Amino acid sequence: MKTIDALLLQKLFVAAANNLSNNKEYINELNVFPVPDGDTGTNMTLTIMAAAADVQSQKNPTIDSLSKAISGGSLRGARGNSGVILSQLFRGFCKDIRGKKELTLVDLVSGFERGVETAYKAVMKPKEGTILTVARGISEKATELLMEDEDYPIVEFAEQVVSHGEKVLEHTPELLPVLKEAGVVDSGGQGLIEILRGILICLKGGTVELEDAGQPVKLARGAGVLDDVPKARPTYSAASGKEDISTADIKFGYCTEFIILLEKELPDEEVDKLKEYLLSIGDSLVCVADEELVKVHVHTNHPGLAFEKALEYGQLTRMKIDNMREEHSERVELEAQRAQEQEAAFKQIKLERKDSGKTAEKKEEKPAQPPKKYGFIAVAAGEGLVKILEEIGVDHVISGGQTMNPSTDDILNAIDQVNAEHVFVLPNNKNIILAANQAAGICKSKKVVVIPSKTVPQGIGAMIAFSDEAEPEDNRIAMVSAMESVKTGEVTFSVRDTSVEGKSILKGDIMGINDEGIAVVGAEIADVTERLIDGMIDEDAGLITIYYGSDTPAEEAEKLNQKLAEKYPDVEMDLHDGGQPIYYYIVSVE
């Protein structure tokens, strides 16, 4: 076999999706943190299955029709960071093979390279030892084999690529110490290997049927759980990648925004050249391109140069220039006033909040919203948390979080339901931020701003910082700044025995997780929660907020709240029925 036609490509993709699905629980077990959530295997499976249904239904497929189904389906169905990265691997591959009647070895290798390049670009700060490392290793091996022999039989080529990918996967603990300490390989990389194994089985004439949920997986595995890996304290921090934002030192005075209506699709290398030029005359660059347009935001001292460069690619629309130096003194006064408004608003919310109980009530259909300048979308699970978010101005709450990461399409649908020119999206979970960014890049009808909140308390803090009178960029800065001042803690239970961050954890242990990772491990929920909060308190703490979950009795939460009030008499206490699953308590300190 020297080529792959559309019919075979269709079978290969379905086999890949089925094999990933059959192994998703095994992949979930490889997750380092033993929290009871949806996890990598589930997210990757939901992502690929969103495309597989359309792929399988095509009766007379072509390479182009399959490429469109794989790229579009996975892009919109992407869930969690691993799902978004997988969708970008598919997107790059499919973009490269468009227009082909059948795929040669050269086409496959070129597609691999394009997929890896696209996926790396989608991640702001790529980490090695992850699915990206495995994908790059696979691509490099494919290129090496092609250079040896362009007529390499495809089945033998696939066998060697998969074998090399397994070796790269086995090496991931050496690149990420947290994997080595937990004794596992990277779960996203394992998912990618399962996809390739499904393809290889199909190439060799076998079939991969979708197994019933709960049935044991019979496929043999290579890389997986590592039994004899030496333990080492990890350097990984859950808070890595945080960026500080300051308006005090303004090097480039004009905030410049515009959209380029492309005359023709812009190749990735041209997008890179545009980015390089804009960075040569400014900073704070955001440049997102698709087939029809390019959205640009840049701080520069020469807006005219940015416009002139952009005109080389097409017409301009939605041009906007703000003099940040002129506005800076006003902004300082505005932020002081906004801080007072935030405090007053928060106190008012506390006065108006009543115990909502745990009985879920059916929501009434909301009337069509009138058009407005600003709208808000947030992600949360738990009736109480949903009510709090709605009370402080969120238009649409997507049900999700740790137990289920919403897809890119879920976020796009929510954006469509909010009739506003500017829509702010609060993911409230670090594993949803990439999907939110992907939705923002796809949406063309509205200006979508993603506030990268990692927890619900951060999202609430960001919402309270919003001002109707402020401009979108000013609001973004204020909301991000407010979000970053909120310390969050979560209390849940361990679903497996493991070792993380120097802590030995047994299945069923209670874990207190702060912004840096697992901070406290113990046997009692109240004790772990108290110790977690003790570690979050400092001399600047003025408010402790506790949201108790669906599995926590109200009287236990009130008892804990009272004990903390006595322990910290100078700190204001606030208790709410969050109703969230999985987490006994979510707490914040401000």
Q: What is the mean pLDDT of residues 525-553?
A: 92
Q: Which residues pair with 96 in a beta bridge?
A: none
Most confident of 278-292, 304-318, 546-560: 546-560
Q: Name the strand (E) or helix (H) holding 332.
A: helix 324-352
Q: Between 122 and 588, where is the model more confident?
A: 588
Q: Is the pLDDT of residue 345 over 60?
A: no
Would you state the pLDDT for residue 459? 94
Would you state the pLDDT for residue 288? 66
8 Å CB contact between 373 and 421 = yes
Rounded Cα gap, residues 43 and 135, in angstroms:
18
Would you state the pLDDT for residue 249? 47
Extract the tokens encoding 419: 């009739």
- pLDDT tens readout for residues 231-281: 222 222 222 222 333 344 457 777 787 878 888 888 888 888 888 888 889
Q: Between 369 and 96, where is the model more confident?
A: 96
Q: Is the pLDDT of residue 19 over 80?
A: yes
- pLDDT tens readout for residues 136-195: 999 999 999 999 888 889 999 999 999 999 999 999 999 988 888 878 899 999 999 999
Rounded Cα gap, residues 505 and 489, in angstroms:
18
Q: Is the pLDDT of residue 35 over 80?
A: no
Which residue is associated with the tokens 């004439």? 205
Q: Which strands make up the sheet holding 572-577, listed edge to edge?
A: 517-522, 510-514, 487-493, 585-589, 543-548, 572-577
Would you state the pLDDT for residue 142? 93
Residue in 43, 103, 28, 97 with CA at minimum distance from that of residue 67: 97
The percentage of the chain sitting over the pLDDT mark of 70, rounded to a whole number, equals 83
Rounded Cα gap, residues 128 and 176, in angstroms:
7
Confidence of residue 223 (pLDDT cuts 50, 70, 90): very low
Would you state the pLDDT for residue 159? 94
Give helix then strand counts, H and E, for the chain. Answer: 20, 16
Would you state the pLDDT for residue 212? 55
Which residue is associated with the tokens 């990918």? 165
Which residue is associated with the tokens 């009543």? 354
Rounded Cα gap, residues 436 and 81, in angstroms:
10
Would you state the pLDDT for residue 581? 85
Q: Is the pLDDT of residue 74 over 60?
A: yes
Would you state the pLDDT for residue 476? 93
Rounded Cα gap, residues 223 and 170, in angstroms:
6
Extract the tokens encoding 542: 């003025």
Would you state the pLDDT for residue 36? 63
Q: What is the mean pLDDT of residues 313-327?
A: 73
Q: Is the pLDDT of residue 393 over 80?
A: yes
Q: Is the pTM of this model over 0.75?
A: no
